[in-house]
Amino acid sequence: MSTPPNQRDSDDAHREEAGEEPVVVVDPETDPALNEDLDEDLDLREFEGEGGLEGALSRMRASERDSLSLGWDEDEDELGTAKPRRHPYLAAVVAAASVALCAWVWPDFRFWLESTPRDVGDAQALFDTPDADTALQNRLVSVTGTPDVSYAARLRIGDQSYRFVRILEGGDRLFALLPDQEGTRSDEFEGRFTGRAQRLSDVRFFDEVVTYFDNQGVTRTHDVTMDALIAGVQRGFVEVPAEGGSSRRVELASITRLNLVVDRGESKLVLGRSTWPDDETAQAAIAGLNAPWAQLRTAGANNADDPNASIKRSYGRRFVVGAPAETRDAMVAKLNEDAGITGESADPKIGALGVPQRYTYAVRPSAVTARDGTVEIDMAGVTTSPGFEVRDGVLKERDLGPNGRLVIDAGDVSRIELEERLSVDRDGTIILVGRTPEGQRTAALMFVVVGLVGLFNMIAVGIFVRRRRDLA
């Protein structure tokens, strides 16, 4: 319907008074230019070709479905740029986070897959090969071993109390964590440990364990030969036997104490105080053996202020006799026969007793030197007797050298012990006693869900990359 001319003029007059431009109305029936523009906008050539109108509509719908299939809209402008609904970088971040979380939960998921405990037998079997214990981590295992009750620690984790013990066969590489049970003594442990095997450094209380053992000064002993000690002093380390028949290197710097056990073939004879009531009768009985001798004094035995004086006196009167060890039994028999003692008595105050006389020198490794078949010991701070030697037919205590060192024949050293300070091996194994796979159901479910989320996001990233590559 067209607007009357007089009404248009009136409206234009009002717009001119208001300062507005007049509205131009074009009649498509009378304006041929408008018809040409409409023909250009409605280009029917779009509907020509394969399929005609229906083919064109089908191609338009396929274009729309293609953009929706990737999860983003393509609102294309003149240059054909895309505006994704979800940025592909976000999918990549989600995929990477899912992989990291799955890696963190993987040990619990792997343990959840266990069914029955794997019996590895004695704890020593864990160390038959260097990587044997590593292969058992996050597995359900059953191990037999000897707990070190001397250094058992008590831990509090949440509302539960636990006991942490070292298994002796494992040295510093095998430990066990046991939940406390009512009615069980703190020093009572079973010889079998069943639970989850895990790397020691992976448990959350690892730092507390290291601190505890450092404060306790836990050590383990290695027996070595004199030749190995002499070679070790020159090299700075000693080769000691290790698990599985091999050997390992122990640095002398990690040795806290060196114990030299010296046996010169002497005998110690202990005479009961009831049979020999005073030193004179006891000395006369020892002199009747016709062998060099010396009396050992028990410090504090005759001291009235010493609370342990009565206990020390009950030890008997002690003598060192310089005679071959094979004559010891004969000397004891003669002492008892002369005193009228028949048969054996469990009372240490009655009759005589003979034992080997040995000397143990506990010193620092740096206090020992070996040369020309002899061993020298720096006796500074050492309270052990230097031993005895025969001088003028009498057994007297040995003299120290001018430098305060004791010289010992290497052949008299019967045993050498190295006390190595225990440093907890962070790659060692701990048995979490009582832990079962059923307790890891939540971790297993998390692993599956997070893994699926990560998989879907990786697929989306892959589709995006492939599409961009095809468009390039």
pLDDT recorded at residue 420: 83
pLDDT in tens, 15-35: 555 555 555 554 555 555 545
50 residue type, one letter? E
- Rounded to the nearest 10 degrees, the angle between the axes of helix 441-471 and helix 88-112 is 150
Hey, what are 173's tokens? 């590489």
Please report where in the chains the tokens 């008074």 appear, as a residue.
17
Task: Identify which of 440, 439, 431 has the alpha carbon closest to the alpha carbon of residue 177.
Answer: 431
d(Cα 331, Cα 323) in Å, to the nearest integer?
10
- Left if phi > 0, otherwise alpha if psi is -120 to 50, otherwise beta: which for 115? alpha
**Of 34 and 379, more confident:** 379
Strand bridging mode 174-179 / 160-166: antiparallel
DSSP per-residue codes, 421-469: EP---TT-EEEEET--GGGGHHHHHHHHHHHHHHHHHHHHHHHHHHHHH
pLDDT in tens, 275-322: 998 889 999 999 999 999 999 876 545 555 555 555 555 668 889 998
pLDDT in tens, 424-451: 888 888 888 888 888 888 888 888 898 8
pLDDT in tens, 152-198: 888 887 777 888 888 887 777 888 888 886 655 555 677 888 888 88
pLDDT in tens, 30-46: 555 545 544 444 455 55
Please report where in the chains the tokens 């009357």 appear, as a residue.
4
Hey, what are 465's tokens? 């990359």
Neighbours of 414 (CB within 10 A): 13
Please report where in the chains the tokens 């064109």 appear, as a residue.
56
d(Cα 335, Cα 360) in Å, to the nearest integer?
28
The residues that bridge with 371 in the sheet, in sequence order, are 374
168 residue type, one letter? L
pLDDT in tens, 76-107: 444 444 444 557 788 888 888 888 888 888 88
d(Cα 432, Cα 436) in Å, to the nearest integer?
9
pLDDT in tens, 329-358: 999 999 999 999 887 777 878 999 999 999
Position 50 confidence tier, pLDDT thresholds 50, 70, 90: low
- List the Cα angle 102/424/203 in 5-degree steps: 25
Tell me what the pLDDT averaged over the chain comes to.
77
pLDDT recorded at residue 11: 53
